[in-house]
Amino acid sequence: MFAQILKGLRTTLEWGLKKPVTIEYPDIKRPVFERFRGRHELKRHPNGLERCIGCSLCAAACPADAIYVEPGENTDEERYSPGERYAKRYEINMLRCIFCGFCEEACPVDAIVLEHNYEISSYSREAMIYTKEMLLVPPPPGVPDTPQRTPAPPPQDMEAPVSNPQRVERTPPGGYITSYVPVHVVGEEVHPWLLNPVDEEEHTPRPAEAPSGEERA
Amino acid sequence: MYYPRLRGHAHVITDAPEVANAWRGTLEFILTSHPLDCPVCDKGGECPLQDLTFKYGPDLSRFYVPYKMHFQKPVPLGELIWLDRERCIYCSRCIRFCEEIANDPVLEFADRGRAQEIVTFSDPPFDSYFSGNTTDICPVGALTTEDFRFKARVWELRNVPSICPHCPVGCNIVIGERAGDIKRIMPRANEWVNEIWICDKGRFGHHFVGADDRLTAPLIRGEDGQFRAATWPEALDYVANRLAAIISTHGPRAVGGIAGARAANEDLYVFVKFFRDVLGSPNVDHRVAWPTGTGIEQAVAHVGLASGSNLASLGPGSLILLVGSDLEEEQPVSYLRVRRARRNGATVVVAQARPVKEEAEAAHLLRYRVGGEAHVMAAILKVVLEAHKNALDKRFNKLKGAQQVREAVADLSLDELARISGVSAEHIRAVAEVVVNARDVVIMVGREALVGAEENAPALVDAAVALLAATGKAGQVNSGLVALWPHNNSQGACDMGVLPDMLPGYRPADEAGATVDDMLSGAADLKALYIMAADPARDRPSSLNALKNVELLIVQDLFMTETARLAHVVFPAAAFAERAGSYTSLERRVQRTEQALRPPGEAMPDWWIVAQLAERFDAAWPPYATAVDIMNEVAKQVKVYKGMSYDKLEGEPVSWSTVAGYHHVYTGTSTLNTWFGRTWAVQAEARRPKYALRWSGLRPPRHEEGVRLVARRRLYDHGTMIARSHLLDRRRARPEVLISSQEAARLGLEEQGGAVRVQANGVTLVTAARVEPRLPADVAVVACDVDGTAWNALTEGGVRAPFGTLEKAEEAVE
* Contact residues, chain B, for A154 at CB < 8 Å: 70
Task: Kindly report the nearest CA distance between residue A50 and chain B, in angstroms.
Answer: 14
CB–CB contact B40 A85 (8 Å): yes
d(C-alpha B753, C-alpha B769), whole Å = 5
CB–CB contact B156 A155 (8 Å): no
d(C-alpha B220, C-alpha B467), whole Å = 52
Picking from A85, A88, A89, A103 by the largest number of B CB atoms within 10 A of its own CB, the best residue to mutate is A85
Residues of B with a Cβ under 8 Å from any A Cβ are 35-37, 39-40, 44, 67-68, 70, 73-74, 86, 149-153, 155-156
Q: Does A59 touch chain B (CB under 8 A)?
A: yes
Picking from B37, B83, B146 by the largest number of A CB atoms within 10 A of its own CB, the best residue to mutate is B37
Contacting A residues, span 99-118, partner chain B, CB-CB under 8 Å: 108-109
Q: Does A83 touch chain B (CB under 8 A)?
A: yes
pLDDT at residue A173, rounded to an integer = 54
Q: Which CATH architecture has domain B707-808?
A: Beta Barrel (2.40)
Of B40, B153, B156, the CB nearest to A84: B40
Of B74, B150, B155, the CB nearest to A60: B155
CB–CB contact B150 A54 (8 Å): yes
The amino acid that residue B703 corresponds to is: H
Picking from B33, B50, B60, B150 by the largest number of A CB atoms within 10 A of its own CB, the best residue to mutate is B150
The answer to whether A41 touches A134, Cβ cutoff 8 Å, is no
Backbone φ and ψ of B787, nearest 5° = -45, 135
Instruction: Tell me the count of A-B CB pairs closer than 8 A.
Output: 43
CB–CB contact B37 A83 (8 Å): yes
Of B40, B70, B151, the CB nearest to A55: B40
The answer to whether A48 touches A139, Cβ cutoff 8 Å, is yes
Q: Is A211 a residue whose pLDDT tops 50?
A: no
d(C-alpha A118, C-alpha A37), whole Å = 8
The answer to whether B144 touches B136, Cβ cutoff 8 Å, is no
CB atoms < 10 A from the CB of A97, how many?
A: 22
CB–CB contact B150 A84 (8 Å): yes
Picking from B32, B33, B36, B40 by the largest number of A CB atoms within 10 A of its own CB, the best residue to mutate is B40
B219-290+488-621 folds as: Rossmann fold (3.40.50)
Task: Kindly report the nearest CA distance between residue B155 and chain A, in angstroms.
Answer: 8
* Contact residues, chain A, for B70 at CB < 8 Å: 154-155
B1-146 folds as: Alpha-Beta Plaits (3.30.70)
Mean pLDDT of chain A: 78
pLDDT at residue B72, rounded to an integer = 82
Task: Kindly report the nearest CA distance between residue B106 and chain A, in angstroms.
Answer: 27
Q: Does A74 touch chain B (CB under 8 A)?
A: no
Domain boundary assignment for chain B? 1-146, 219-290+488-621, 296-472, 707-808
DSSP state of B83: E
Of A57, A71, A154, the CB nearest to B150: A71
Which helix (H) or strand (E) segment holds residue B554: the answer is: strand B552-557
Nearest-CA neighbor of B723 among B786, B797, B784?
Answer: B786
d(C-alpha B224, C-alpha B206), whole Å = 36
Q: Does A54 touch chain B (CB under 8 A)?
A: yes
CATH number 3.40.50.720 is the correct assignment for the domain at B296-472: no
Q: Does A152 touch chain B (CB under 8 A)?
A: yes
Q: Does A53 touch chain B (CB under 8 A)?
A: yes
Of A53, A57, A157, the CB nearest to B67: A157
Taking CA atoms, B317 is separated from B341, B342, B360, B579, in Å, by: 11, 10, 19, 43
CB–CB contact B40 A60 (8 Å): no
d(C-alpha A58, C-alpha A75), whole Å = 24
The answer to whether B357 touches B218, Cβ cutoff 8 Å, is no
Instruction: Write out chain A in H/E/C secondary structure.
Output: CHHHHHHHCHHHHHHHHCCCCCCCCCCCECCCCCCCCCCEEECECCCCCECCCCCCHHHHHCCCCCEEEEEEECCCCCECCCCCEEEEEEEEECCCCCCCCHHHHHCCCCCEEECCCCCCCCCCCHHHEECHHHHECCCCCCCCCCCECCCCCCCCCCCCCCCCHHHHHCCCCCCCCCCCCCECCCCCCCCCCCCCCCCHHHHCCCCCCCCCHHHHC
Q: Per-residue pLDDT averaged across A108-112, rounded? A: 93
* Contact residues, chain A, for B150 at CB < 8 Å: 54, 71-73, 84-85
SS3 B300: helix
* Contact residues, chain B, for A152 at CB < 8 Å: 73
Q: Does A81 touch chain B (CB under 8 A)?
A: no
Task: Kindly report the nearest CA distance between residue A183 and chain B, in angstroms.
Answer: 42
Of A56, A84, A108, the CB nearest to B153: A56
Of A108, A152, A154, the CB nearest to B39: A108
Task: Kindly report the nearest CA distance between residue A106 and chain B, in angstroms.
Answer: 10
pLDDT at residue A160, rounded to an integer = 38
ipTM of the complex: 0.85
Cα separation of the two ends of chain A? 39
* Contact residues, chain A, for B39 at CB < 8 Å: 53, 55, 57, 108-109
The amino acid that residue A39 corresponds to is: R
Of A59, A60, A83, the CB nearest to B40: A83
* Contacts (Cβ under 8 Å, ≥6 apart) of B4: none
Torsion over CA of B214, B173, B175 and B576, rounded to 10 degrees? 30
Torsion-angle region of A58 (φ positive above 0: left; ψ -120 to 50: alpha; else: beta): alpha
CB–CB contact B40 A53 (8 Å): yes
Q: Does A1 touch chain B (CB under 8 A)?
A: no
Q: Does A82 touch chain B (CB under 8 A)?
A: no
How many Å separate Cα B137 from the centre of its chain?
Answer: 23
pLDDT at residue B6, rounded to an integer = 65
What averages of pLDDT result for each successive group of 10 residues across chain B (814 residues)?
Answer: 63 81 89 87 90 84 70 88 92 94 94 88 92 93 94 91 94 92 91 90 95 96 94 96 96 95 95 95 95 94 92 92 95 96 95 94 94 95 92 90 94 95 95 95 96 94 96 93 96 96 93 94 93 94 94 96 95 96 94 94 96 93 93 93 84 51 53 79 89 92 91 91 92 92 90 88 91 92 86 91 91 68
Backbone φ and ψ of B734, nearest 5° = -110, 155
Chain B residue with minimum CA distance to A56: B153
The answer to whether B784 touches B791, Cβ cutoff 8 Å, is yes
d(C-alpha B531, C-alpha B516), whole Å = 11
Torsion-angle region of B195 (φ positive above 0: left; ψ -120 to 50: alpha; else: beta): left
Backbone φ and ψ of A92, nearest 5° = -125, 130
* Contact residues, chain B, for A76 at CB < 8 Å: none
Task: Kindly report the nearest CA distance between residue B732 and chain A, in angstroms.
Answer: 26
Task: Kindly report the nearest CA distance between residue B200 and chain A, in angstroms.
Answer: 23
CB–CB contact B39 A59 (8 Å): no
